[in-house]
Homo-oligomer: A and B are copies of this chain.
Amino acid sequence: MIRVVILGAGNVAQHLYAAFLKQKSINVIQCYNRKGVLLHPNQNKNTITQDINLLKEADIYVLAVSDDAIKKVALQLPFKGKLVVHTSGSVPIEMLDNSNKKGVFYPLQTFSKDKDVDFSTVPFCLEAENEDDLKLLKDLAGSLSKKVYKISSEQRNVLHVSAVFVNNFTNHLFSVGNDICQEHNIPFEILHPLILETTNKITKMPPSEAQTGPAIRKDNQTIERHLNILSHASQKELYKILTKAIQSKYGKKL
């Protein structure tokens, strides 16, 4: 049985609490947050504290607080030598305080308040200072998910950059597609199945093998026609830069 204390009451804290609750091997013995709120409707009030000095003895302390509060909260912990982990994708492990053993327990997924999370498919990126702590984190993550990875702080940074490309930037391209459709009174939902198929494909083959379209075909007639259709300078610029990027990537292969 792994005894866990969760600090914070936001998205990640709540989803982790609900997930741990279902696991027999995990016991969330206490939760701390400034407002003293419950993390779950079924939670026993006695397991909540607003006073960080009243934290009980546990095997792992999970700091699921905002990135910029991690250092501050870690400093306030009233004990020494325990395993303290944060759940952030971008904060280095060193941000935690030296008086405790440091670790990272980062679930690589976006969480939002009202949406249930199926943790069995969520990748956990773990980091610890020694093998024993890593083993404990692996047991904890492994109780929720089959996808557990040992990832250094440096690798986590790299993952974060990649995530910006595949998530934030991709979302912006969806947004541009949506704008183009709206301008011409075309419902964007027509493109939903194509989008779902595109992403489905790259979970089955490397994205470079799935690349199609006028850019890689060097179909200059279509590229010109498309540029003429685009009415905004910023859309034209994105179209040109991405076409150039694709052509320089695959240029040698063609």
Is A69 part of the contact surface with B, judged by Cβ < 8 Å? no
- Chain A interface residue count, CB cutoff 8 Å, equals 83
Contact of A245 with B by CB under 8 A:
yes
Q: How far does the alpha carbon of A124 sit from the alpha carbon of B46 in the complex, in Å?
A: 58
Q: Can you tell how many copies of this chain the complex includes? A: 2
Check if A99 is an interface residue, CB within 8 A of chain B. Answer: no
Distance between Cα atoms of A220 and B43 in the complex (Å):
39
Closest Cβ–Cβ distance, residue A15 to chain B (whole Å): 13
Please indicate the chain B residues that have their CB under 8 angstroms from the CB of A163 in the complex.
177, 191, 194
- Of A33-41, A71-79, A133-141, A223-231, the one with at least 4 CB within 8 A of chain B: A223-231
Q: How far is the CB of A91 from chain B (nearest CB, A)?
A: 11
Report how far A241 CA is from B184 CA in the complex, Å. 25
Q: Which residues of B contact A168 (CB under 8 A)?
A: 211-216, 246
Stretch with Cβ within 8 A of B (4 or more), from A5-13, A58-66, A150-158: A150-158
